[in-house]
Structure 1
C-alpha cells in the first residue's frame, strides 16, 4: 500500500477485510497506536497486519495509523462494519468538525468517489504546512495531535451532538497540560521544540488566547472518559520526558495530575515506563530531538525523498540504465573514484534524459535539481550489477 498514490484508502479497505477482529477493545487499539508512536505524535511504525511493500515516510505512516485508528474505532462500535458506510461516517464527521474544506484544485483533480475525496481530506489533516519548501526544510511536518481526531470520532459515534466544541475542549486540555508540565521542570531545547510542535498542531483553538491558570484540572475526572484521560496522562509523560538529565519518574506534577485523572500510582508509573521505552528504542529517529542546522536538515530531508523515489522506481531505472552502457560505466566508476568535470557533465545530461521518462523523478529536472545528483549517485550502486562494485555487501 502506497499512501502517497491515489487509491490507497480503497487498498486499506481491501487489506482490513481479513483483519476485522484484530482488536477486541479500544484499549488494545490504543496500546498498538502508542507503540507505533501515533499517540505521541511521532509516527515511526504502522500496524503489523499492513505489509510494508515499499519504505514509508513519517507522513505516510501517519496516514496509515490515522485511517487504522478511525476504522477500528468505528468497527468496535459496529459488529458488522461496512467499509463504504465507514467512509460516509468519516466524511460527515469531518464536515461537522468544519475541516472538510478541499481546495478548488483538489476538487478538480479528485474523483467523485468518497474514498478519493477522503484521501485529500486526510492529507490536509496530516501536514502542518502546505508549502513544499517548508516541508523540505522542516523535519517536523506531521500533525502531532491527530489522536484528538480519533477521540472525537469515538465520542461522535457515541452520539455527541456538539462535536466541534468537544474537540475544542480536548485541545484546550491537551495544550494546558503541556504548558503546565513544561513549567514543572527545568526546560531545554527539546522541550521548546516539542511545545512549538504541539502549538503548530492546534486546529480548533489558538494557543495565544489560552488561559493557563490551571482551572482545567477541576473538570478532568468528571467530564472525560478513561480513554481521554489516558491520552492526557500520556501527553504529560511525553512532555516531562528528558534524556538522562533528571529523574522524571519521580515528578510530583505527573503523579499529581495522574491522580486528578483518576489513575493510581502503578498506572502512572506504567505510562512513564511506556514513554521511556519508546524513546530509548527510537531516540535517534525522532525529528524534533535532532539538533541539525538548516543545511543538514535540507540534505537529510531531500535524501529521504530521493531514496524513496529511487526505490519505488528501481525497476524502471534499471531498464533505462541498461539501455545506456556509457552511463552505467561512468556511474560504476563514480562509486570508486571521482569523475572528471567532463564526465560529471555527461552523467548529468544523460540522467536528466532518463528522469524525463519517469514523471515521479521530475524533481531532478527542476532548477537546482543538479544539487540532488550526488544523493542519487550515492544510491545508484544498489541498482547496478554487483560486478560493478567490488565492496558491495548484500544484506
Structure 2
C-alpha cells in the first residue's frame, strides 16, 4: 500500500476486510495507537497487517494511522460498511470545515468521495501545506491528530456542537502541555515540543489563550474518559521527553491524573507507557534530531525526490525508455561530471517528462530545478524497482463492502 498516491484509502479498505475484528473495544485500539506513537503525535510504526514495499516517511505513517484509527473507532462504535465509513469521515471533516486544498490538490482531486478524502487527509496531516516550508522544518506532521479520533467518536454518537468540542479538547491539551513544561527545567527539546504543539493547533489560537493554570476548572468539568486519558498521556509525553522524571514533575503528573479522575494505577500505567515508547523509539523521533540547516534541507529534499521516483517508477521507466540519449547521460552522470551542455540537455528532457506526470509537477514549478541534481543522483539506483502498490486485485475488490 502506498499512502502517497491515489487509491490508498480504497486499498486500505480491501486489506482491512480480513482484520475487521482486530480491536473489539476502543480500549484495545487506544493501547495499540499508543505503542505506534500516534496518540503522542510521533508515528513510529503502522498496523502489522499492512504490507509495504518501501520505508515510510513520517507523514505517510501518520496518514495510515489516522485512517486506521478512524476506521476502528467506527467499528467499535458498531459500524460495519467501509463505504459508509468513508462517507461518514468525509461528512465529519466537512462539519469541522477541514478542507484546506493545496496547489496540486485543486488540480488532481477526483470525484469519488475516497479521492476527495485522500486530499483532505493530506491537508490535515501537514502543519504547513507548503513543500518548501516542510523542507526547512523537520516538524512536518500535525502532532494533535488523535484529537480527530476523539472528535469522530463524539460525532458517531450523534453529539452536537462538534466545533465547540474541538476547541475544548485543543484548549485543554495545549494548556496541560504548557503547564507541564513549567513544571520542569526547560531545554532545547522542550522548546521544539512546544513549537510543534502550538503549530499543530487547528481550532484555537495560542495568541488568544492564556497558559496560567486557569484551565483547571474546565479540566475538572470534563467527564469524557477517553478525552481525559489522552490529556493525561499528553502530560506524560511533555514531562518525560528528556528521559527523566524528578519529584516536581511526578507530583504534577499525579496531580493532573487526580484532576482527570484517575487512580494511581492508571496514572502509573500512563507513565510506564511513555517510558517504554521513548526507550524503543528515541533514536527515530523526528523532533529530537539535531541537524544544521544545510543537512536538513538536503536530507528532506533527498527523501522527497526518492519518494517521488519510487511512486512513479512505472511511468518514469516508460518515458525514459523512449529516450536513449537521456538514459545514456544519466548513466554517465554517475561516473563523471557532465558538461554544461549535457546538463542543460538533461534538464530540458527531464522537464519535458515531468510535464506528463502530474505527481512530478513540483520539478517544473519556480525553484523546482534545485531538485534535479538530487533526482539525477537517485534515478539510476531506484528506477528498476517499478510497481503499483495501490492496485486492488479483483478478489480484494469484491471484498470491499
Give the TM interval when normalised to the shorter protein.
0.7 to 0.9
Give CA deviations for 1:42-75 in whole Å, capped at 9, x if unaligned: 2232212222244433222222211111111111
Does structure 2 conserve the Cα–Cα contact (< 8 Å) formed by 1:356 and 1:365? yes
Q: Give the equivalent residue in structure 1 for 2:58.
A: 58
By how many angstroms is 1:184 displaced? 0.2
Query: Larger deviation: 154-163 or 217-226?
Result: 217-226
What pairs up with 1:277-288 in 2 under 5 angstroms?
277-288=276-287
The number of aligned residues is: 384
* Mapping of residues 27-46 of structure 1, within 5 Å: 27-46=27-46
Residue 219 of structure 1 deviates from its aligned partner by: 4.9
Greater mean deviation of Cα atoms: 163-172 or 276-285? 276-285
Indicate the larger mover: 130-139 or 371-380. Answer: 371-380
Q: Extract unaligned runs of 5+ from structure 2.
A: 385-401
Per-residue deviation, 1:99: 3.3
Does 332-341 or 149-158 show the bigger shift? 332-341
Q: CA deviation at 1:102?
A: 5.9
Work out the CA distance in 2 between the residues paired with 1:302 and 1:313. Answer: 17
* Cα distance, 1:188 vs structure 2: 1.0
CA contact (8 A) 1:54 1:312 kept: no
Separation of aligned partners in 1, 2:343 and 2:100: 47
Residue 219 to residue 344, structure 1, CA distance change in 2 (3 Å)? closer
C-alpha distance 343-268 of structure 1, shift in aligned 2 (>3 A): same
Contact 1:238 1:275 in 2 (8 A): yes
- Structure 1 residues 326 and 112: CA distance shift in structure 2, 3 A: closer
The structure, 1 or 2, with the larger RCO (C-alpha pairs under 8 Å, 6+ apart) is 2
Please say which of residues 256-265 and 19-28 is displaced more in the overlay.
256-265
What does residue 390 of structure 1 align with?
A: none
1:233-382 correspondence to structure 2 within 5 Å: 233-244=232-243, 247=246, 251-318=250-317, 331-332=330-331, 334-335=333-334, 348=347, 351-352=350-351, 355=354, 358-382=357-381
Q: Once the 2 structures are TM-superposed, how far is the Cα of residue 298 of structure 1 from its aligned partner? A: 1.7
**2: CA distance, partners of 1:325 / 1:248:** 68
Distance 1:358 1:246, change over 3 A: same
SS in 2 for 1:283: helix
Distance (Å, rounded) in 2 between the aligned partners of 1:150 and 1:346: 50
CA distance in 2, matches of 1:41, 1:333: 44
Q: Distance in 2 between matches of 1:283 and 1:117?
A: 35
TM-score by length of 1: 0.84
Which consecutive unaligned segments of at least 5 residues does structure 1 have? 386-395
SS in 2 for 1:284: helix
For residues 197-245 of structure 1, give each alpha carbon's deviation from its aligned partner in whole angstroms, at most 9, with x where no partner exists. 1111112222222233324334545522321121111101111124356
How far does the alpha carbon of each residue in 1:240-281 deviate from its partner, in whole angstroms, 9 at most, with x for none?
Answer: 124356658962211221232233334323322322332333
Task: Tell me the residue number matched to 2:392.
Answer: none
Residue of structure 2 in register with 1:116 after alignment: 115
CA distance in 2, matches of 1:384, 1:95: 39
